[in-house]
């Protein structure tokens, strides 16, 4: 067995051999790469770049496009065939790179979704891209308030859709036109001035733009570069005002959880400056925290019903609060309340909500669910 092992260890094994140059250095074959800048509906051309590490400077390569087409010799089925007048000679540079540019007219790419295949061939190297496709230059974002995506509600508040126009060849310097129609059978009308001249293109969306009984708004946007244009569309649904978030909490007499910052739903002590509501003094009656409810800050409660809580209609609840008799406290023996928080002097510092008492341990704790957040601006505060 020792002799056999010795013979095997001395046997030449060619699959371990590495090719070497005249100096004895290993020759490592590198892989060529071919990529494109891409082409959008607002570009008039595209470029293909190749790195050809196994070619030599001065080598001549042939570039060509192929396109799905019916053969000239007959038939009805399309085939991926060379595209007329797209064969170009390119020379490998000292950096072993090539670059070739085609216009969309040459590539017969007229609309979004059109595509071609790129080939590059020579005596020493080759390159290939299976599909170069015309893509959108325009994208339309969802309605947002600040950095938060929002559901559009029937209020005068304004959210914004950002329209981005990003061609591949050069930064977009044109305008975006915007129009809308309420309902599929509505008439197109300009959005605002109808023309937006500088990015970021922020298109306003207001719930008060929607007619009664019509909950769908259609938007159309247009951009142009030279003779090329692109349109983009989107739809926005509106809903009746509602409280955005539902939360659950328990306030326990004494200690670190007798207070609650109901904007962030965090437990704090009853005397903490962030305790918007609190229970203390041996009572589970809910009231504004003593260290928070100072100056212009306050919270008021109006009794309501399960129907109002479950309906989650902010407009109805707010109207009921304003029409009711507000108290500074909420006795947990009553199960349902509408509340109003004044947390500062700005309109966005006023928060309405509804509360449901879900449990109570006499002399120990009170548990509750609440819905809160009735303005887009509240999304930046309520957690």
82 to 85, 116, 196: CA distances (angstroms): 9, 10, 42
CATH number at residue 220: 2.60.40
Same domain, residue pair 163 and 267: no
Same domain, residue pair 127 and 183: no
153 to 150, 239, 307, 342: CA distances (angstroms): 9, 5, 21, 22
CATH number at residue 65: 2.60.40.1940
Is 34 a domain residue? yes
Contacts of residue 90, defined as CB under 8 A and 6 or more positions apart, other chains included, come to 60, 61, 62, 63, 98, 99, 100, 120
Same domain, residue pair 198 and 270: no
Last residue of a domain, one of 88, 116, 135: 135
pLDDT at 58: 96
Same domain, residue pair 284 and 373: yes
Same domain, residue pair 164 and 260: no
pLDDT at 320: 98
Is 235 a domain residue? yes
pLDDT at 61: 97
Same domain, residue pair 173 and 288: no
Is 288 a domain residue? yes
pLDDT tens-digit profile, the chain (383 residues):
455 444 444 545 444 455 555 676 655 557 899 999 999 999 999 999 999 999 999 999 999 999 999 888 877 888 999 999 999 999 999 999 999 999 999 999 999 999 999 999 999 899 999 999 999 999 999 999 999 999 999 999 999 999 999 999 999 999 999 999 999 999 999 999 999 999 999 999 999 999 999 999 999 999 999 999 999 999 999 999 999 999 999 999 988 999 999 999 999 999 999 999 999 999 999 999 999 999 999 999 999 999 999 999 999 999 999 999 999 999 999 999 999 999 999 999 999 999 999 999 999 999 999 999 999 999 999 99
Cβ neighbours of 241 (radius 10 Å): 21
**172 vs 139: CA distance, rounded Å:** 13
**218 vs 236: CA distance, rounded Å:** 7
Same domain, residue pair 308 and 209: no
pLDDT at 30: 73
Same domain, residue pair 225 and 284: no
Last residue of a domain, one of 100, 135, 170: 135
Which helix (H) or strand (E) segment is 134 a member of? strand 126-135
Is 230 a domain residue? yes
Last residue of a domain, one of 190, 214, 239: 239
List the domain range (segments joined by +) for residue 76: 26-135
pLDDT at 15: 46
- Give me the phi and psi of 201, to 5 degrees please: -80, 105
pLDDT at 73: 82
pLDDT at 72: 81
Same domain, residue pair 319 and 364: yes
Number of domains in the chain: 3
**202 vs 302: CA distance, rounded Å:** 39
Both tokens of 8, joined, read 């095997």
Same domain, residue pair 366 and 251: yes
Same domain, residue pair 68 and 190: no
Same domain, residue pair 48 and 71: yes
């Amino acid at each position: 067995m020792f002799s056999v092992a010795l013979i095997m260890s001395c046997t030449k094994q060619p699959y371990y051999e590495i090719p070497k140059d005249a100096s004895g250095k290993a020759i490592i074959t590198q892989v060529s790469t071919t990529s494109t800048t891409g082409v959008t509906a607002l570009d008039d051309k595209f470029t293909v770049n190749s790195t050809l590490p196994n070619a030599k400077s001065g080598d001549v390569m042939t570039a060509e496009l192929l396109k799905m087409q019916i053969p000239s010799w007959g038939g009805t089925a399309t085939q991926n065939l060379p595209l007329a007048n797209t064969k170009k000679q390119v020379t490998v540079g000292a950096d072993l790179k090539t670059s070739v540019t085609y216009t969309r007219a040459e590539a017969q790419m007229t609309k979004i979704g059109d595509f071609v295949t790129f080939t590059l061939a020579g005596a020493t190297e080759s390159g290939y891209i299976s599909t170069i496709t015309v893509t959108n230059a325009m994208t339309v974002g969802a309605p947002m308030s600040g950095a938060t995506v929002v559901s559009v509600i029937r209020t005068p508040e304004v959210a914004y859709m950002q329209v981005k126009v990003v061609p591949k060849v050069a930064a977009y310097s044109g305008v975006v036109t915007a129009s809308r129609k309420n309902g599929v059978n509505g008439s197109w009308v300009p959005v605002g001035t109808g023309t937006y001249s500088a990015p970021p293109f922020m298109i306003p969306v207001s719930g008060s733009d929607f007619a009664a009984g019509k909950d769908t708004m259609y938007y159309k946007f247009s951009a142009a570069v030279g003779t090329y244009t692109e349109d983009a569309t989107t739809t926005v649904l509106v809903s009746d005002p509602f409280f955005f978030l539902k939360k659950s909490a328990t306030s326990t007499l004494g200690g670190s959880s007798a207070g609650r910052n109901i904007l962030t739903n965090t437990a704090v002590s009853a005397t903490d400056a962030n305790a918007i509501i609190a229970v203390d003094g041996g009572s589970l009656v809910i009231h504004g925290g003593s260290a928070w409810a100072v100056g212009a800050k306050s919270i008021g409660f109006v009794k309501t019903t399960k129907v109002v809580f479950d309906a989650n209609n902010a407009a109805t609840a707010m109207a009921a609060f304003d029409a009711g008799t507000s108290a500074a406290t909420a006795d947990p023996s009553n199960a349902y309340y509408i509340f109003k928080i004044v947390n500062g002097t700005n309109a966005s510092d006023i928060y309405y909500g509804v509360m449901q008492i879900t449990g109570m341990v006499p002399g120990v704790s009170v548990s509750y669910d609440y819905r809160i957040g009735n303005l887009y601006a509240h999304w930046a505060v309520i957690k």
